[in-house]
Structure 1
Amino acid sequence: MIQIAIFSDVHGNLPALEAVLKDIEYRGIHQKFCLGDLVDFAPWGNEVIEKIKSLNIPCLMGNHDERIAFDLSVFPLSKHSEEETKARFIAIDHSKKYIKAENKIFLRELPFHLKLNYKVGKKHWNIQLVHSSLETNDTYLYETESDEVFMKQLEESKSDLIVMGHTHLSFKKQFENKKWAVNCGSVGRSKEENRLASYLILTLTEERIIPEIIQLSYPIEEVVQKIQDSDIPDYYASFIKNDNVLIL
């Protein structure tokens, strides 16, 4: 049996990341992977990057990482309200100014996706890690997508399981051929009602893959206060507290 921990979308939320890493360590899981989006929306962007670097956790390049690393332009998204659009521009601009040069270099060099192969007994399991999809790091694939969408990704990657983040909404889908599509949710900016920090544990045996979504509490009030004390818009403090902020 092999166990792997996979997490995504920390978004500068160091207390949430520390809660997840502590739980992984408590469970004795040594294999850890991050699917990206280390920065934006909470004030610990540098600290999150440096934590990932110090622990040598393999990490993908999320769309927010790419934007900060290469100073890409920010464009409004039709799904966002006027309030969120304004807050988003300010928060991303804050990251562009705040993230250290050496940390931008780290983000710039992250891989786009990663293919894993684990051998358990006589069985080889192929696991595809992406931020959002094989083609881009900003495609929104929700649980409600048709099975064909996920099956196409599984076939193209020749994998038994594909794991993604990006939407901040966790799910597990198994198909008739016993293959899986899993979203591990978000560590630092969950869009789920409970706002807990989410990550995924994969248990691999010779016979099967067992995915389990883990959700943890963390000191949200500390994060809220830190956001309010920073130049990041209070919109994101309200979002984390789930104070009637519209989720899209």
Structure 2
Amino acid sequence: MIQIAIFSDIHGNLPALKAVLADIDARKIKNTFCLGDLVDFAPWSNEVIESILSKKIPCIMGNHDERIAFDYPIIPLSKHDDQETTCRIQAINHSKKIITAKNKLFLSQLPYSMQFEYKVKTKNWRIQLVHGSLESNEHYLYETTSDTTFEQIFKQTQADILVMGHTHISYIKSIANKWAINTGSVGRSKEESIDATYLLLRLFEDRIEAEIIRIPYDIITVMDAIKASEIPNFYADFLLSKQIN
């Protein structure tokens, strides 16, 4: 049996990342991967990158990482109202301002996707990692996305397991003996609970076991740090609203 931990969407939330990494270490999981979006919305973008580097965790490029790395313009999203649009622009510009040259270079050199295989006795498990989708790291693949879409990805990649982030909503979906799995978000969950989430995969010769692990962290510290920074309080209020719910 092989254990693999995969997480995504830290968004500068160092306390949440530390909680996840501590849980992974406690479970003695040796194979760990990150699906990107290390930056924006909480004030520790540099520290998050440095944690990933210090742990030597293979990581792919999220859409926020790409925007910061190449200083791309911020395009408003139709799903956001005027308030969130304004706050999003301020938060991303804050990341662009504080990111170090070394960490900006690191983000610019991240791979866009990743595929690897693990062999368990006679079985080779092929795993495809993306941030959003193969098409774009801005593309959302939800649990409600048609099976046909996932089947096309499986055909294109010849993967047994597709793992993604980006939506901040975790799910585990089985499609004709294949698996489409979203890890959820470490630092900015959009689920009922604000807990950090990551995927624990267990590979056996005849099956896989997939589990979404939920880890509480010190939300108050994150909220206070956001309020003490140039990041809009909107992002602290988001955490508070999830905590109340």
Q: What TM-score, normalized by structure 2, do the two folds share?
A: 0.98
| 1:203 is aligned to 2:194 | no
Compared CA separation, residues 162 and 84, structure 1 to 2 (3 A): same
Distance 1:75 1:124 in 2: 41
Aligned to 2:142: 142
Structure 2: gaps spanning 5 or more residues: none
Number of residues of Structure 1 aligned to a counterpart in Structure 2: 244
Asked if the contact 1:9–1:187 (Cα under 8 Å) also holds between the matched residues in 2, the reply is yes
CA contact (8 A) 1:195 1:241 kept: no
Equivalent residue runs for 1:103-122 within 5 Å: 103-122=103-122
Q: How does 1:1-248 map to 2 (within 5 A)?
A: 1-175=1-175, 177-242=176-241
Q: Is the 8 A contact 2:173 2:179 kept in 1?
A: yes
Q: CA deviation at 1:129?
A: 0.3
Distance 1:44 1:130, change over 3 A: same
The CA deviation at 1:244 is: 10
Q: Which amino acid aligns with 1:159?
A: A
Secondary structure of the 1:83 match is helix
* CA positional deviation for 1:116: 1.1
Question: What SS does the corresponding residue of 1:84 show, helix, strand or coil?
Answer: helix
Is the contact made by 2:193 and 2:243 (CA closer than 8 Å) also made in structure 1? no
Q: CA RMSD in A?
A: 1.2
Instruction: Assess, with a 3 A threshold, how the Cα gap between structure 1 residues 182 and 231 changes in structure 2: closer, same or farther.
Output: same
- Aligned amino acid, residue 18 of structure 2: E
Distance 1:41 1:20 in 2: 18
How far apart are 1:242 and its partner, in Å? 2.1
**Structure 1 Cα separation of the partners of residues 157 and 77 of structure 2:** 29
Deviations 1:38-80 (A, max 9, x none): 0000000000000001111000000000000000000111100
Aligned sequence identity (%): 59
Deviation at 1:241, TM superposition (A): 1.9
* Distance in 2 separating the partners of 1:223 and 1:83: 21
**CA offset digits 1:188-213 (Å, max 9, x no partner):** 00001111100000000000111100
TM-score normalised by length of structure 1: 0.97
Cα distance in 2 for residues equivalent to 1:119 and 1:244: 41
For residue 107 of structure 2, what is the amino acid of its counterpart?
A: L
Q: Aligned in 2, Cα 1:244/1:32: closer, same or farther, shift over 3 Å?
A: closer
Write out the 4+ residue segments of structure 1 that deviate beyond 6 Å after TM superposition.
Answer: none
Distance, in Å, in 1 between the alignment partners of 2:243 and 2:159 is: 40
Q: Deviations over 1:132-166 (max 9, x none)?
A: 10111010111111111111111111100100000
Distance of aligned partners of 1:5 and 1:244 in 2 relative to their CA distance in 1, 3 Å threshold: closer
* Cα pair 2:35 2:131 within 8 Å, conserved: yes
| Conservation of the 8 A alpha-carbon contact between 2:2 and 2:204 | yes
Deviation track 1:62-104 (CA, whole Å, cap 9, x = no partner) reads 0000000000000111100111000000000000000101100
1:242 aligned counterpart, secondary structure: helix
CA contact (8 A) 1:193 1:242 kept: no
